[in-house]
Homo-oligomer: A and B are copies of this chain.
Amino acid sequence: MNQEMKVIDVDIHNSLKSHMDLIPYLPEPWKSRVAGSGLGLPGHGYQSPIGVIRNDCRPPSGGPAASDPEFLVKDLLEPFHIEYGILTGNLMGVSTMHDPDHAAAISSAYNDHLVENWLEKHTQFRGSILVSAYDPLLAAREIDRMADHPRMVGVIMGSGQRALLGQRQFHPIYEAAERHGLSVAIHPGTEGAGGSNPPTASGYPTRYLEWHTSLSQNYMAHLTSLVCEGVFEKFPRLKFVLLEGGIAWLPHLMWRLDKNYKGLRSSVPWLKRMPSEYIRDHCLFSTQPIEEPEDPKHLISIFDMIDAENILMFSSDYPHWDNDVPTEILKRLSPEAKRKIYYENAKALYHL
């Protein structure tokens, strides 16, 4: 492999070796409860017929895939010349828990474990502050608690939620993130779990295939909400990262939203620009799973419509079943577009 490109990977799913890893970081009563019964994260009930985790990512030292920092460096960062890896974890389901204090306790313990076991031991990793959006005031407090760590570069939460993320109850999260210069990311996968809504506007799909295909729809709904509720007017320095939701729906959404805004703008008088302009200026998207049309020129056309080279960032989604490597996607882009998508957009966003 001849890969001269520098790479930043914005979505690596580090894992705990076991829920017992969090015990040292949990206060009572959560310490005893987690020790006795596990983390308590709700499942969504959609089982992939081929499994979600790549078997060949399991570290020789034992434990689940992506739970051994040394092996992750050797298996992903070194072979693909990844300079920095943004760790996003796999506990985004805290937002779907029924008890907001339980969710906050798990989040805090995970964040402390992340700092001690990953960020302070490996210079190439950067962390995302995990929060549950269920109680936005607790989430904002957690952001305040963790934001000063120099290797915490953003906030992460699940896109499976009780409500659309532009709505006012969530604004304390954005206020705290903006104040600390941190971007806020969402990640799919918890749709339909616990206290979240059914994963489509017509209820529960039957299989993982339909469920996974429909995850992008939730992204469209959140993005519409974020723009229309005026989040980017209220928090003008906020950057929002939509991880793993695809991108080929963006032309549709921008056009439909702009068109509707022209007719209905009296209902959102706080907006001062076209909805699509807020998306272009405030939102970034990750590559995996990039849509792959039979004719690759079609994807290039979509890229042109959304100015992809300025809003897209490479992600591997390691160690998941459908993960990408830098050498196998986006082959037809210009060298400049590749440099931005593989490296510069993330470097600027995360101040690396």
Contacts and interface: CB of A to CB of B under 8 A. Distances in A.
Given A264-B209, A293-B251, A200 B214 contact: no
Q: Which of A165, A196, A210 has the most CB of B within 10 A?
A: A210
A203 B268 contact: no
Interface stretch (A60-68, A171-179, A254-262): A254-262
Given A164-B205, A259-B291, A289-B259, A264 B48 contact: yes
A246 B257 contact: no
A230 to B, nearest CB: 11
Interface stretch (A73-81, A83-91, A116-124, A219-227): A219-227
A302 B254 CA distance: 14
Copies in the complex: 2
A209 B214 CA distance: 22
A224 to B, nearest CB: 5
Given A248-B251, A255-B292, A263-B322, A209 B228 contact: yes
Given A249-B249, A259-B291, A293-B251, A217 B221 contact: yes
Contact of A225 (B49, B206, B253, B322): B206
A161 to B, nearest CB: 5
A352 interface: no
Contact of A216 (B212, B256, B322): B256
A197 interface: yes
A94 to B, nearest CB: 16
A313 to B, nearest CB: 19
A218 interface: yes
Interface in A3-58: 48-50
Contact of A201 (B201, B206, B253, B291): B201
Contact of A207 (B196, B203, B214, B228): B228
Interface string A77-116: 0000000000000000000000000000000000000000
Contacts of A198: 197-198, 201
30 contacts: A49-B267, A50-B266, A162-B203, A163-B202, A163-B204, A164-B202, A164-B203, A164-B204, A164-B210, A165-B202, A197-B200, A199-B201, A200-B218, A202-B218, A205-B221, A205-B228, A209-B268, A213-B224, A213-B256, A213-B257, A213-B260, A217-B220, A246-B252, A248-B256, A249-B252, A252-B291, A255-B291, A259-B292, A263-B321, A298-B304
Given A202-B218, A210-B224, 18 more contacts: A159-B202, A161-B203, A164-B200, A191-B201, A197-B202, A197-B203, A200-B221, A201-B201, A206-B229, A207-B268, A210-B221, A210-B225, A217-B217, A217-B220, A246-B252, A246-B256, A249-B249, A298-B301
